[in-house]
Amino acid sequence: MGWTTPQNWTAVPFTVSNLNTQIRDNLIFLKDPTFARALLDEGSNYTTTSASFTNIDAGDTEGKFKHTATTYGGDIFVGFNGMIAVNTDATSVLFNISIDGTPYFADDGFIGLHRSASSIGNARIPLSFLIPIPKADVPAGSHIFRLMWKTTGGATGTLYAGAGTAGADIHPGFWVREIS
Amino acid sequence: MGWTIPKTWTNTGVRRGELNTHLRDNLLYLKYPNCGVYDIKETSDYSTNSTSFTDINATEGKFLHTITTYGDGNGGNGDVFVALNATLFSTNSLSVFFRILMDGVVQNADDGLLVIFLAANVMQAVSFLIPIRNVAPGSHAFKLQWKVSANTAVLLANAGTSGRDIKGQFWVREAS
């Protein structure tokens, strides 16, 4: 059930139709806005060596690191949790969001992990973020949200995906929700 | 104050009671959905040496929050946010794993939701917010558990530990 722009009430009595559309349906939408979430359990982890932002899921499967969602003109939350590794000292793994195929953040994206020569242990690092996309950037309609990544220095970045790696059998999540 | 499934209006004779129940009360619930918050302040920090997932503290209002949820507002299932902000410490190198249970059912299989690698004598922050989807209307208990790869990990609890007197937070909120 979607959202209908509330009317200006100019007269009473109400009609049955506008009571249901304006009050019932809009209340229900506010209670349960557009929401898509992936909780991944894959047979192998995701990896990249790309030096430019690329989709995490090369197969671009809907419901993994790609969510197509109809929004109604509100702000959008995009969230992620997972565990990342990069295999070379002095390199980084960098992340971006794309909306309808266009990277949302310029340059090196909006969040990243850098492995220094003194990085701890095996350099597996948890990453969790929640970012708002302002409504001005997401007009009402159908939109495709993807999570992208790249590495520097030719390094291999890994996103653990519940694939049974010993000590790193972690299940990442990626989700998109119209805030209200 | 909870949520009432908004009625389907079949006539235009709107009664005051209907406006209060279906409009006022529901708007108030949307403004302030049910939540549980634990400001992690104790007289001693939490610690574990368990290598299998175990409760951090299953006391209601601590690392266990029981809230009543109202689903999608129309009789179906809805969504709940679960979040943690905390700081970990250990005198040894080790990994610390976390997972969430709803009504005793594990929500993150295998090694759980996330793992933090701690170097010896280094503090490390852990912070996440995740949605739990398809939560049926009703009362639900959300609990956080942890384990370590070896040795002992500490979760700081604002307990007066010198240089590590940090308060975290564990909270649960119906998404709307």
CA distance A137 to A154: 33
Q: What is the dihedral of CA B98, B103, B105, B107, to 10 degrees?
A: -50
pLDDT over 90 (residue B18): no
H or E segment to which residue A26 belongs: helix A26-31
Contact B174, B57 (CB under 8 A): no
Q: What is the pLDDT of residues B92-118, one digit of tens each?
A: 999 999 999 999 999 999 999 999 989
A31: nearest Cα among B138, B73, B75 = B73
- Better-scored residue on pLDDT, A10 or B50: B50
Q: Is the pLDDT score of A1 beyond 80?
A: no
Residue B106 sits at the chain A interface (C-beta within 8 Å) = no
Residues of A in contact with B115 (CB under 8 A): 83, 124, 126, 167-168, 170
Average confidence score pLDDT of chain A: 92
Q: Is the pLDDT of residue B133 over 80?
A: yes
Complex prediction ipTM? 0.88
Q: Given A20, A35, A167, which is nearest B9 (Cβ)?
A: A20
What local confidence, expressed as pLDDT, does residue A161 receive?
Answer: 97
- For the ranges A11-20, B71-80, B112-121, the lowest mean pLDDT is seen at A11-20
Q: CB pairs below 8 Å between A and B: how many?
A: 125
Nearest to A27 among B6, B78, B119 (CB): B6
Strand partners, B86: B126
- What's the pLDDT at A122? 54
Cis peptide bond N-terminal to B6, omega within 30: no
Phi, psi of A21 (to 5 degrees): -75, -45
Helix (H) or strand (E) holding A31: helix A26-31
Tell me the C-alpha distance between A168 and A3, whole Å: 41
- With CB atoms and an 8 Å threshold, state whether B23 touches A23: yes
* Per-residue pLDDT reduced to its tens digit, A102-130: 999 999 999 998 887 765 545 688 999 99
